[in-house]
């Protein structure tokens, strides 16, 4: 029962290409997040969203943008991919209705930029 689905497990793109990473959750969660994970650096927050059409910058938003047109979908956009954006990208969602912010993660999207 997959609850957070990332559309691509592996992508290979060229420098300068526009890249879309899609994430869909079926739990009616209000919060959605994009992290990137790099060896030795752990998980770093790129962008997050608390509601439809709403977005907040995380710790490393440069070079990225996001879109949340529907509650269940949160897209990460690399306008012009660069080699330093080669990474594992993790999408997550959560709800605060249970009183604690527990994240449910997708399986990850490993992006290679050549």
Encoded one letter per residue, x for contact with another protein by CB under 8 A and - for no contact, window 24-63 reads: -------x-x-x----xxxxxx--x-x-------xx----
Structure tokens at 104: 């449910």
Q: Helix, strand or coil for residue 110?
A: strand
**DSSP sequence for 4-60:** EEES-SEEEE-TT--EEE-EEESS--SEEEEEEEETTTEEEEEEEESSTT--EE-S-
Q: Which CB atom, from 3 or from 18, has the smaller least distance to another protein?
A: 3
Which stretch of DSSP H or E encloses residue 96? none
Question: Binding of another protein at residue 102 (CB under 8 A)?
Answer: yes
Question: Binding of another protein at residue 106 (CB under 8 A)?
Answer: yes
Encoded one letter per residue, x for contact with another protein by CB under 8 A and - for no contact, window 7-26 reads: --------------------
Question: Binding of another protein at residue 101 (CB under 8 A)?
Answer: yes
Question: Binding of another protein at residue 107 (CB under 8 A)?
Answer: yes
């Amino acid at each position: 029962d997959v609850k957070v689905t990332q559309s691509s497990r592996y992508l290979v793109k060229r420098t300068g290409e526009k890249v879309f990473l899609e994430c869909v959750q079926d739990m009616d969660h209000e919060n959605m997040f994009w992290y990137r994970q790099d060896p030795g650096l752990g998980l770093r927050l790129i962008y997050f969203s608390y509601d439809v059409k709403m977005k907040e910058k995380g710790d490393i938003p440069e070079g990225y943008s996001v879109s949340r047109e529907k509650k269940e979908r949160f897209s990460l956009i690399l306008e012009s991919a660069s080699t330093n954006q080669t990474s594992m990208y993790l999408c997550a969602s959560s709800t605060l209705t249970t009183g604690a912010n527990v994240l449910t993660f997708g399986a990850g999207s490993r992006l290679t930029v050549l």
